[in-house]
Copies of this chain bind each other. A is one copy, B any other.
Amino acid sequence: MSTQAVATEALDAVRALSTNRNLCMIPGPIEFHEEVLEAMKVGATSHVDPKFINIFGESLELFRKVLFSKEGQPFIITASGTLGWDMVAANLIEKDENVLVVSNGYFGDNFGECLKNYGAQVQYLPSEFGSRPTLQKIEQALNEKKYKVITLTHVDTSTGVLADIEGVAKLVRQKFPNTLVVVDGVCSVGCENIKMDDWGVDVVLTGSQKALGAPPGLSLLVASQRAISVFEKRTTPPSSYYAGWNRWIPIMRNYEARKASYFATPAVQNVMALNVALKRLEAFGIENNFAKHREVSDSFKDTIESWGLQLVPVSRDVAAHAMTAVYYPDNVTAADFLPKIAARGVTIAGGIHKENASKYFRIGHMGISVVEPQRQHITRVLDVVKESLSECGYKI
């Protein structure tokens, strides 16, 4: 076979995936706008090309705005969102410092694992599956020991439970002013309300492929000036090289000042796609985006409940607006149900919370699937869930 023939066959496999693609209704990666994807195929561009530097700098500024931060230091690093945990652990924690990890599920637990990996003394404040600890419980835990950092998973993608960031941040700022408030916003940034400055949040981290609406590949984080000065007062160097803010702060500042600089080659195309996604978000209005996600989430959950199904979050006020986690009804199993969904051209997610993985499924509703109802993603996924349940013998 000639080079061209083999190569075209290679692309054919990828194209086949593209044209017969399932509608992607997992809690990230989410469906992307065509203009965002268009930016992914910009040809080779130097990471120090002035036009690219401008796009990068602009993206940093736009990302800061998404979090209502005026002075925070934004980072856009080439990695999965997970690297955000390493950035927190390796830059804000020195050996044996105390961290309170408020965990509502799989991702909270793993953030704790990451912190331990870098030497933190981690105290978990767990909660029952589907619930979150009360503010009183959190205050009680903070009173027991001096914590350098408290971490919260805004939306634990494993359970769909929403943390009360505003309540916790305001409590900490008032009563434990030296404790840093760190928010894993992987499944929340862009679609759940976060006011970094007003609430006194110190770090928010996320990935590009959730409510920001860009393909995966970028780890995004904003650190408050309070967090940056805690970082600057370290007595030991950051315990990571690639995730070290000492390497990245000068680079990010240079990008914002539209100056060329280099530490590691960024995923140029992904940054361009993120830029388009952030501009679309700004144009739609971030508050509008929050409202639209709340509205669609509410009606989505109403429909699910009207079918006699039970949500994983114990009540609506602890339920995320980016996704819905739902228990299987009696006599319906993941092994039976999920392939029926896939066969109908839609991808949703199974459970991933350790002990409860087999008991529930998860559907993401973020980005264009939410704000562009004409695409009918929401009605389609609901139809497919209904049909598949029915085929499994569950009558609605």
Give chain A's interface residues, CB within 8 Å of chain B: 1-11, 13-18, 21-22, 24, 26, 28-33, 35, 37-47, 49, 51-52, 55, 78-83, 85-86, 89, 113-114, 117-118, 207, 209, 215-217, 237-244, 262-270, 272, 275-276, 279-280, 282-284, 347, 349, 352
Contacting residue for A89 out of B31, B82, B113, B241, CB 8 A: B241
A38–B19 Cα distance when bound, in Å, is 13
A60 to chain B, nearest CB (A): 15
CB atoms of A32 and B21 under 8 A apart: no
Residues of chain B contacted by A263 (CB below 8 angstroms): 82
What is the CA–CA distance of A56 and B346 in the complex, to the nearest angstrom? 21
**Are B265 and A216 neighbours in the complex by a CB distance under 8 Å?**
yes
> Could you name 19 residue pairs across A and B whose Cβ atoms are closer than 8 Å?
A6-B282, A10-B283, A18-B42, A21-B44, A22-B46, A24-B43, A24-B45, A31-B43, A32-B43, A41-B41, A46-B349, A78-B217, A80-B264, A80-B266, A82-B241, A82-B264, A217-B267, A217-B270, A267-B270
Contact between A52 and B17, CB atoms less than 8 A apart: yes
Give, as a whole number of angstroms, the nearest-CB distance from A241 to chain B: 4
Shortest beta-carbon distance, A383 to chain B, in Å? 19
Q: A21-B45, A31-B43 are in contact. Are A7 and B215 (CB under 8 A)?
A: no
Question: Contact at A79–B82, with CB atoms within 8 Å?
Answer: no
Residues of B within 8 A of A347 (CB): 46, 49
CB of A32 to closest CB in B, whole Å: 5
Let me know if B14 and A55 touch, CB within 8 A: yes
User: A118's contact among B81, B241, B268, by CB below 8 Å, is which?
Assistant: B241
B265 touches A81 (CB 8 A): yes
Which residue on B lies nearest to A40, using beta carbons?
Answer: B40
A46 CB contacts on chain B under 8 angstroms: 22, 24, 26, 29, 347, 349
Chain B residues within an 8 Å CB radius of A240: 86, 117, 240, 243
Q: B15, B45, B79, B207: which contacts A29 (Cβ < 8 A)?
A: B45
Q: Which of B7, B39, B51, B82 contacts A242 (CB 8 A)?
A: B82
Does the CB pair A283–B3 fall under 8 Å?
yes
Known contacts A14-B276, A32-B43, A82-B263; can you find 6 more A-B pairs with CB under 8 A?
A3-B284, A6-B283, A11-B35, A11-B39, A81-B265, A113-B241
